[in-house]
Amino acid sequence: MRRNTIVVPCGNRYIGGQHPITIQSMTTTDTRDVKATIKQIQSLEVAGCDIVRVAVPNMEAAKVLGQIKSKISIPIVADIHFDYRLALESINQGVDGLRLNPGNIGNKDRVREVVKKAKEKDIKIRIGVNAGSLEKSLLEKYGRPTAEAMVESALTHVKILEDMEFSNIVISLKASDIHLTVDAYRLIASRVNYPLHLGITEAGTIWGGTIKSSIGIGALLLSGIGDTIRVSLTGDPVEEVKVGKEILKSLGIAKNEITIISCPTCGRCQINLINLAKEIEEKVKDIKKPIKLAIMGCAVNGPGEAKDADIGIAGGIDSALLFKKGKIIKKVSEKEIVKVLMEEIENM
């Protein structure tokens, strides 16, 4: 059972409650390079990104956010550190959310200015706590980064906003250590009712980071914790979105997607299953249908083991059996497998 939180608006998306879990990413371009940033965001949109975050390190970057927003379709969040004026200008430019920690942008008067403008525009603020940048006082209190220290840091920032009657809050508690991250999210989930943004920070390269993120984010989602996710990878941010989508599909959370199951192959397989699976995966990646598709190497783990699949193939000698819900429909030659399968999927 998914944890039921308050609902926070973010442009044309909603975070929390029972709204769909959104996938986020962050641009790697220099935000001041408007053309490059728009191009990257548009590629993220095509990949399935729901919300995008951009770095706002200076006023020049803040002042071009409106130009960027006018050319994209998904909500844009400004990543702000220390300078409240960047937050104010970002809101003026029409962003849909801020990522900032109110305790780090100056005195209460400055925070109040940001909160007032955020209220006027009904935008959300994500409080982001990272284990690697905890306050010195908390490190002295707890001796090291702990889940308790991370939660205390988050709640300190939350209280600043709550004292100003602001509740469009999303919280993230990220560490590069999976255990620490999971413990922190479970603890904060027991303390507040705000939506949670999940992620393993500095997870690593596309290969290693995918594994770490899948374990950490997956464990939390299986516990009913999490309302929006970002897979942090050292690589093309489009890969972050692909992994995020696959995590949600694997957990049965993404409903309008084709889910592929395929066997690892063995000595019984007499068709080129590896290449076949790759080709089919590429062809169906943009199809929005809630279909479970099986690509199996032989009759042993074909219609039987994959009988709950909506449609699938089981390899034979230079051929394959086409089946639906475990029932064999017909036999097709190996060179016709992809064509026949795609025709069947299109008609479903």
Tens-digit pLDDT profile for residues 332-346: 888 888 898 888 888
Question: Among residues 65, 107, 106, which one has the least CA distance to residue 83?
Answer: 106
Least confident interval from 136-145, 244-253, 288-297: 288-297
Q: What is the mean pLDDT of residues 286-309?
A: 78
Residue 6 confidence class, pLDDT cut points 50, 70, 90: very high
Summarised one tens digit per residue, pLDDT across range 55-114 is 999 999 999 999 999 999 999 999 998 899 999 999 999 999 999 988 788 788 899 999
Angle (nearest 5°) at CA 203 between 200 and 209: 115
Q: Return phi, psi of residue 66, to 5°.
A: -65, -40
Question: What's the pLDDT at 300?
Answer: 67
Q: What is the mean pLDDT of residues 212-238?
A: 96
**What would the two tokens of residue 123 be?**
């935008």
Angle (nearest 5°) at CA 245 between 241 and 250: 150
Q: Does the pLDDT value for residue 187 go beyond 70?
A: yes
Give the strand pairing for 311-315 and 13-16: unpaired
Q: CA-CA distance, 210 to 260, in Å (whole number)?
A: 18
Question: What's the pLDDT at 102?
Answer: 84
Question: What's the pLDDT at 296?
Answer: 83
Contact 177, 124 (CB under 8 A): no
76: helix, strand or coil: strand
Residues with Cβ within 8 Å of 271's Cβ and at least 6 positions away in sequence, in order, are 297, 315, 316, 318, 319, 320, 334, 337
Question: What's the pLDDT at 301?
Answer: 65
Question: What's the pLDDT at 335?
Answer: 87
Of residues 314 and 236, which shows the higher confidence score? 236
Helix axis angle, 84-92 to 108-121, nearest 10°: 20
Q: Does the pLDDT value for residue 302 go beyond 70?
A: no
Residues with Cβ within 8 Å of 231's Cβ and at least 6 positions away in sequence, in order, are 25, 199, 200, 203, 209, 210, 213, 217, 240, 241, 243, 244, 247
Q: CA-CA distance, 16 to 223, in Å (whole number)?
A: 15
Q: Does the pLDDT value for residue 279 go beyond 80?
A: yes
Q: What is the mean pLDDT of residues 146-156?
A: 96
Q: Does the pLDDT value for residue 197 go beyond 90?
A: yes
For the chain, give the percent of residues with pLDDT over 70. 98
Q: What is the mean pLDDT of residues 172-196?
A: 96
Q: Which uninterrupted H or E stretch holds 296? A: strand 292-296
Helix axis angle, 34-47 to 237-250, nearest 10°: 20
Q: What is the mean pLDDT of residues 202-231?
A: 94
Q: CA-CA distance, 149 to 152, in Å (whole number)?
A: 5
Q: What amino acid occupies position 167?
A: S
Contact 26, 49 (CB under 8 A): no
What's the mean pLDDT when you consider all of the chain?
91
Contact 290, 256 (CB under 8 A): yes
Q: How far is CA 60 from CA 32, 34, 57, 65, in A?
A: 7, 11, 8, 9
Provide the whole-model pTM: 0.89
Alpha helices (H) along the chain: 34-47, 59-62, 65-69, 84-92, 108-121, 136-142, 147-162, 178-189, 206-222, 237-250, 273-284, 337-346
